[in-house]
Structure 1
Amino acid sequence: MYSGTADPASGTVEVVITEELDAASVPRFSVLLNEAADKHPEHLVVDLARCPFIDASAIGLLLDVHRRVWSAGGRLTLRSPGPRVARTLRLARVEHVLLVQ
């Protein structure tokens, strides 16, 4: 499941991911993230605290959305990935591009 919230006063859009991000779910996830990016947020936060798994296709999508948000003057943060997701992100070396907190 995905959910999204926007706080126009702070310029932050938050997307909470509560299921696996893999090739099967990336199309739905892509729609949600692109809708969030369409709001031109100063800060797009993707909360991964309850995401149990992420694969290469989802990482590719996150990097694409990051480039889109960055080119519009915003930033994307991956928040609270669990140990398994954090390890996958580390192996993919995304911390050199994305802010992971």
Structure 2
Amino acid sequence: MDEVSRASQTTQVVPLVEVQVRGDLNASSAPGVNDVLEEALALHPRQLVIDLADCEIIDAAGILLLLDAHRRAMRDGGMVALRSPSARARRNLKLAKVDRVLQVISADGDLTLGEIPRREMAP
């Protein structure tokens, strides 16, 4: 294989990309958010963090969009994490059982859903 062929097969990977969603994530906003997520995923991040601190409501279309971003990231060897969803958005994510698929982290980086912390057992 020559240098040109090898270079065309190399994919640049970035460690982290963060996207901030402002406003509700619903059927009317999903196409615009999808465009931004496509640009972010084109960078082939190891981790895509979607900040939901300014997103009060997530409906079914928004949840499908998040799961699709997760699927696309996984296909490229990456992962998606959701940061700081509101209490209402967190409730919808739990009802849809998205917390079983996506990692959800608080503003300070602690896991809040999607992973049960291990506790040390006393001898």
TM-score, reference length from structure 2: 0.73
Report the secondary structure of 2:53's partner residue.
coil
Q: Tell me how far 1:47 sits from its aligned partner.
A: 0.4
* Residue 78 (1) aligns with residue 111 (2): no
Residue deviations 1:26-65, cap 9 Å, x none? 0101100111011100110000011011100011011111
Q: Residue 55 of structure 2 corresponds to which residue in structure 1?
A: 51
Letter in 2 for 1:44: L
- Structure with higher Rg: it is 2
CA RMSD, Structure 1 to Structure 2 (Å)? 1.6
Q: Residue 99 of structure 2 corresponds to which residue in structure 1?
A: 95
Tell me how far apart the structure 2 counterparts of residues 24 and 67 of structure 1 sit (CA, whole Å).
22
Higher relative CO (CA 8 A, sep ≥ 6), structure 1 or 2?
1
Q: Residue 4 of structure 1 corresponds to which residue in structure 2?
A: none
Deviation beyond 6 Å, 4+ runs, structure 1: none
Tell me how far apart the structure 2 counterparts of residues 79 and 69 of structure 1 sit (CA, whole Å).
16
**Aligned residue pairs, count:** 94
Which ranges of structure 2 fall in alignment gaps of 5 or more residues?
Answer: 1-11, 106-123
Q: Residue 110 of structure 2 corresponds to which residue in structure 1?
A: none
Q: Residue 40 of structure 1 corresponds to which residue in structure 2?
A: 44
Letter in 2 for 1:71: R
